[in-house]
Amino acid sequence: MTQRFGGRFSPNADQRPLASAPVRPHPVGARVNLLFVVPFAFAIRAFFNDPVGLALNLGAFAVLMLAAWLTREGVLAQAAYEARKIARRPAIPRKIFASVLTGGGLALAGLSGGLGAALIFGILGAVLHFGAFGPDPLSDKGMEGVDTFQTDRVTRAVEEAETHLSAMQDAIKRSGDRALAGRVESFGATLRQLFRAVEHDPRRLSVARRYLGIYLIGARDATVKFADLYVRNRDQQARVEYLALLDDLENRFALRREALLEDDRTDLEIEIEVLRERLEREGLRAE
């Protein structure tokens, strides 16, 4: 399906300024993508060797492709880990396994030159891969005083909310309207601020659960229905109403986040006042 060109100054473009959100490069960069290209050299080389060389090179191709896939998944898992203030370490150290597999794949390819060459290639491959991508996160991170049950509840709630948000973004892309896609991206940036606030203190989940669940599911369903309608007839009135819905929801999410921050300030003020009263009772407060 063709996509209509759109922009801020295009006809029917959304004139509402987009919320400024930090632009982060995608964690899967050229280095990771290169890992999927290099193994094909061994696949091509395999067909110019004897049967043993054929088997060794095809084996190296398969092992290196698996290592590349594990590396990509490990990089994505680490990016998600680093983006959150409270997170569990990945269950499987994918990048470490990928380093071992990279060494194993290169060792297989080098066996045709002898055991010594295979050993050298294997060690160099594993060390270079580990040096390029580093280890996986090996410990959980979070705040003191929060048990694992609370952390797990928040993790599940945020993951479900991210799934709903991704479904919104996928649906609006079907409309072929770049301005609408950008508006939903801006909406997602506001939502993720609330996600981070809840992750920072899992005790907030109870007051934010409706926003991460009911409101976001409603926004997802409305986006899917609007995208289906807009693809068929480009109904401009429906577009205006959908943008108004996003504005209303975004304001609600922003207000909820501000309320959580205000609660933090109130708690701090209470703690300070209690401390002052204690100092006064003990005669330690400086005048």
Asked if residue 113 is part of any domain, the answer here is yes
Tally of domains in the chain: 2
Token pair belonging to 153: 């509840």
CA distance 271 to 278: 11
Pair 179, 14: CB distance under 8 Å: yes
Domain range for residue 207? 148-281
- Would residue 180 count as lying in a domain? yes
Tell whether 19 is covered by a domain: no
Residue 188 counted as domain residue: yes
What φ, ψ does residue 87 adopt, rounded to 5°?
-155, 150
CA 68/CA 45 separation, integer angstroms: 19
**Whether residue 117 is found in the same domain as residue 165:** no
Q: Are residues 124 and 163 in the same domain?
A: no
Provide the terminal-to-terminal Cα distance of the chain, rounded to the nearest Å. Answer: 74
The tens digit of pLDDT for each residue in 197-212 reads 777 767 677 777 777 8
Tell whether 170 and 55 lie within a shared domain: no
Angle, helices 148-173 vs 178-200, to 10°: value is 180
Count Cα neighbours of 49 within 13 Å in the Cβ-side half-sphere.
Answer: 17
Instruction: Provide the mean pLDDT of the chain.
Output: 79
**Tens-place pLDDT, residues 76-119:** 888 878 877 667 788 889 999 999 999 999 999 988 888 999 99
Which of 147, 149, 250, 141 lies closest to 192 in space, CA to CA? 250
Same domain, 274 and 198: yes
- Extract the tokens encoding 212: 């991460």
**From CA 107, how far away is CA 120, in angstroms rounded?**
8
Query: Hey, how many other C-beta atoms are within 10 angstroms of the C-beta on 188?
Result: 18
**Would 69 be classed as within a structural domain?**
yes
Predicted TM-score of the model (pTM): 0.58
Q: Which of 133, 156, 187 is the last residue of a domain?
A: 133
Determine the average pLDDT of the residues in 136-150. 69
